[in-house]
Structure 1
Amino acid sequence: MALINTEIKPFTAQAFRDGEFIEVSSDDVKGKWAVFFFYPADFTFVCPTELGDVADKYEELQSRGVEVYSVSTDTHFTHKAWHDASDTIAKIKYTMIGDPTGEITRNFDVMRENMGLADRGTFIVDPDGIIQAMEITAEGIGRDADDLVRKIKAAQYVRNNPGEVCPAKWKEGEETLAPSLDLVGKI
């Protein structure tokens, strides 16, 4: 799991977005911020709460230049059926990638091989295609879109302000740190 600061691997996949089937590739990700949001399966329990939470933050993420790609080992057809069947999933406007071969899931090292399902994994990818942050939780632990947005803001700040870093619980507009010999042992 040494994926931080590595480039995402090439992929091409079928996806569901805005009532249409589309093809998505790693080339589509380059040049903008992206979130890859892996989850075990459609028509489950914790997954729709997480995807709905991200859907509620999608407009804010878009305003920050961030595209969201949810990914499971279901097909794009299953994503459409789930979108049509669930009020929570129906509000999703971001791209839902189908990964039935598990290629993308394996590329991000979140495949549960014995089940053919993805772990709950979130990856923040910068405009160069480099993974800047990741979070992986056990199946029963849902993620929080507010914290995802906070991490994206921090990643964007650090990229735009070389020489500065964001401390724990940093929120946009708060003080950052400029690492130096003078700070060692004084925080």
Structure 2
Amino acid sequence: MLTVGDKFPTFALTAVKGGKEGLGGPGVSFTEITNETDAGKWKIVFFWPKDFTFICPTEIAAFGKLAGEFADRDAVLYGASTDSEFVHLNWRVYNDDIRDLPIPMLADVKRELSTALGILDKEAGVALRATFIVDPDGTIQWASVNGLNVGRNPQEVVRVLDALQTDELCPCNWEKGKDVLNAQALFEKAA
């Protein structure tokens, strides 16, 4: 699996647009998103195993509710699975929790991106619940992977992004607005 310090793979995937644009139907709802889309921004790319399931919409909706918080941090959210853009669109139309999802849903139907990242479940052949924070230079700064049956905490992704953007030493459970560590002061105190 690719991890911290690795370059996020190049990709070009069809996606269902976020917001009301994504509900226009085939030909209107789709767009192509690449690794160059939103250049210069932080990117949060999260994967879920399958559309029309039970845990996935709870996570996707939770990420969607935080889209504004990510935008405030000069970051964009991309959700992805190995289902097609047509399945994504149909799921959005018929699922109240994600109908108004403000973020794009990427279709990794050839499994090229999930394979390049090393996040395919070996038995099911679908993406694990993986989340990547990618810096504006395209380098992975945080990676987290859950199994198929355990949902993740999108608020923790916001917290980690905040910490990464300080470019400082952030202690356990650090939150935005709290003090960061001063290595020099700690060193002098220990001496």
> TM-score when scaled to structure 2?
0.89
1:56-71 equivalence runs, <5 A = 56-71=65-80
Number of positions where the alignment pairs a residue of Structure 1 with one of Structure 2: 181
Distance 1:121 1:32 in 2: 20
Q: 1:171 Cα shift?
A: 0.5
* Corresponding residue of 2:157: 148
Aligned to 1:161: none
Displacement of 1:29 in angstroms is 4.4
- State the shift of 1:61 in Å: 0.9
Q: Which residues of structure 2 form unaligned runs of 5+?
A: 23-28
Question: What is the Cα deviation at residue 180 of structure 1?
Answer: 4.5
User: Which residue in the other structure is 2:109 paired with?
Assistant: 100
Question: Take 1:30 and 1:175, find their aligned partners in 2: how far apart are those partners?
Answer: 30
Q: Percent of aligned pairs with the same residue?
A: 33
1-side partners of 2:174 and 2:62: how far apart?
21
2:189 and 2:138 map into 1 onto residues whose CA distance is 35
- Letter paired with 1:174: K
Tell me if the contact between 1:52 and 1:91 (Cα under 8 Å) persists in the aligned partners. no
Closer/same/farther in 2, CA of residues 51 and 184 from structure 1, 3 Å limit: farther
More strand by share: 1
Give the Cα–Cα distance (whole angstroms) in 1 for the partners of residues 88 and 189 of structure 2. Answer: 51
Deviation of 1:7 after TM superposition, in Å, equals 1.0
Is the CA contact (8 Å cut-off) linking 2:2 and 2:117 kept in structure 1? no
Counting only pairs closer than 5 Å after superposition, residues 116-127 of structure 1 correspond to structure 2 as 116-127=125-136
Q: What SS does the aligned partner of 1:175 have? A: coil
1:129-184 CA-to-partner distances (Å, cap 9, x unmatched) read: 110011111112111121111111111111xxxxx211110001111113349539
Q: CA RMSD in A?
A: 1.7
1:5 aligns with 2:14: no
Q: Distance in 1 between matches of 2:48 and 2:182?
A: 36
The Cα of 1:114 is off from its aligned counterpart by 3.0
Residue aligned with 2:37, SS? helix
Unaligned residue ranges in structure 1 (runs of 5+): 159-163
Partner of 1:171 in structure 2? 175
Residue identity in the other structure for 1:140:
N
Matched AA of 1:4: V
Matches for 1:152-163 after TM superposition, within 5 Å: 152-158=161-167
Is 1:132 matched up with 2:141?
yes
Partners of 1:112 and 1:96 in 2: CA distance: 20
Q: TM-score, normalised by structure 1?
A: 0.91
Matched, 1:55 2:59: no
